[in-house]
């Protein structure tokens, strides 16, 4: 199967996820940030979200980053470790702070800075506000000098996102090094994660160059249009022929995967997303990537990988925070095995992941 994770006894975890995580503050009640009197604390970060989701469904995952030598850094490391993620390569920076951000609970961030809503359903609702305090953060100081390549390459898969490339020149240099094809490199997964607020000075074309160096690429159809002026999955594949597998996320419509055949050409697989009762459209893109990566590590078909991505995204969409509790593997496998008609009847509401195993003949209306 295309884009199969590398099998190597020297690699001690399934997936390494490298990037910034921040402490996130979610309002205690609906309303504008200016009007909300109190916030609850959580964590948010595309790469750590993927690592936590993978660990929660039974894979070994490692998160690599830098955080401040402060209480927020303590909280981040503790919470991510509590999800079962190896944090032994996280470094503390005594001179730079841990990033934080505040957001409201609408459907999509007004500055496109949320966790991403592609890949698992959607809905109409108010826009959310997101305010970042991440400039000069500890994670922005990452560079090839501070992150040894042997650490980044210590897993069967290395998962990166375009968010890291936007943080600083050092971060961009690090991603260029890690996405350059070289002997011994693991499978490199890359979620474009284009964020308008981070690329206001231009340079989104750099994301295209980075994506071309990767084996597995995730990109939303809407963000490809915003970043590169590309319209439609076919045009996106034409601009990104190099990855063995390209997954184009199409929001509530589903996703299309292009997997290169050994003899040339692509196997094109489309899977619709189940209908989802959305609580907050944050973290869904990260969860989708985790679901697809989980299926890849298990050697599942491309269609099954896409469905697992949709289910993981639905788990994130049906909770207020960035991370939803994923369904048990037996439950998810039962839903993935549904025939096309039964899959098309799925409607997932808050609490759906608590259900018991579902057989291939039973859909949840």
Whether the Cβ atoms of residue 56 and residue 329 lie closer than 8 Å to each other? no
Contact between 108 and 281 under an 8 Å Cβ cutoff? The reply is yes
Active-site residues: which are they? 286
**Token digits of residue 29:** 């009640």
H or E, element range at 101: strand 100-103
Q: Which of 213, 271, 206 is nearest to 244 (CA)?
A: 213
Q: In this structure, which long-range contacts are made by residues 252-256, counting pairs with CB atoms below 8 Å and at least 24 apart in sequence?
A: 252/121, 252/122, 252/123, 252/276, 254/306, 254/310, 255/118, 255/119, 255/288, 255/306, 255/309, 255/310
User: What one-character-per-residue DSSP string does 299-360 give?
Assistant: T--HHHHHHHHHHHHHHHHTSSSS-PPPPPHHHHHHHHTS-HHHHTT-EE-TTGGGS----T
Asked if residue 243 lies in contact with residue 222, where contact means CB atoms within 8 angstroms, the answer is: no
Token readout for 89 is 């390569």
Residues 6+ apart with CB under 8 A from 71: none
List the structure tokens of 281.
């459209």
Task: Look up tokens 């909300």; give the residue.
Answer: 36
What's the DSSP call for residue 6?
A: P
**How many angstroms separate the CA atoms of 70 and 290, rounded?**
29
For residues 364 and 277, what is the distance between their CA atoms, to the nearest angstrom?
13
Answer for the pair 134, 140: CB distance below 8 angstroms, yes or no: yes
């Amino acid at each position: 199967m295309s884009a199969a994770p590398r099998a190597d006894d020297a690699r001690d975890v399934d997936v390494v996820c490298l990037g910034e995580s921040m402490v996130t503050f979610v309002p205690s009640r609906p309303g504008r940030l200016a009007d909300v009197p109190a916030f609850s604390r959580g964590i948010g970060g595309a790469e750590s979200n993927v690592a936590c989701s993978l660990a929660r469904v039974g894979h070994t995952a490692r998160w690599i980053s830098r955080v401040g030598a402060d209480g927020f850094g303590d909280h981040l490391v503790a919470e991510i470790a509590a999800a079962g993620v190896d944090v032994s390569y996280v470094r503390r920076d005594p001179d730079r702070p841990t990033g934080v951000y505040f957001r409201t609970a609408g459907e999509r961030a007004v500055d496109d800075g949320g966790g991403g809503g592609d890949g698992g359903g959607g809905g109409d609702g108010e826009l959310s506000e997101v305010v970042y305090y991440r400039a000069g953060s500890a994670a922005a100081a990452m560079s090839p000098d501070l992150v040894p390549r042997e650490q980044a390459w210590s897993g069967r898969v290395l998962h990166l996102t375009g968010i890291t490339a936007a943080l600083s020149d050092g971060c961009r240099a690090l991603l260029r090094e890690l996405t350059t094809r070289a002997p011994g490199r693991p499978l490199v997964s890359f979620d474009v994660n284009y964020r308008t607020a981070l690329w206001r000075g231009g340079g989104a074309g750099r994301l295209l160059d980075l994506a071309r160096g990767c084996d597995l690429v995730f990109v939303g159809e809407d963000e490809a249009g915003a970043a590169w002026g590309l319209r439609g999955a076919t045009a996106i594949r034409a601009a990104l022929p190099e990855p063995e597998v390209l997954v184009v996320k199409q929001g509530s419509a589903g996703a299309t995967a292009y997997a290169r055949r050994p003899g040339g050409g692509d196997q094109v697989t489309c899977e619709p997303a189940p209908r989802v009762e959305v609580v907050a459209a944050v973290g869904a893109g990260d969860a989708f990537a985790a679901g697809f990566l989980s299926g890849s590590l298990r050697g599942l078909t491309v269609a099954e990988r896409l469905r697992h991505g949709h289910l993981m995204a639905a788990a994130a969409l049906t909770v207020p925070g960035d991370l939803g509790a994923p369904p048990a593997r037996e439950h998810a496998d039962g839903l993935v095995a549904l025939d096309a008609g039964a899959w098309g009847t799925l409607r997932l509401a808050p609490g759906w992941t608590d259900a018991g195993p579902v057989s291939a003949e039973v859909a949840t209306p």
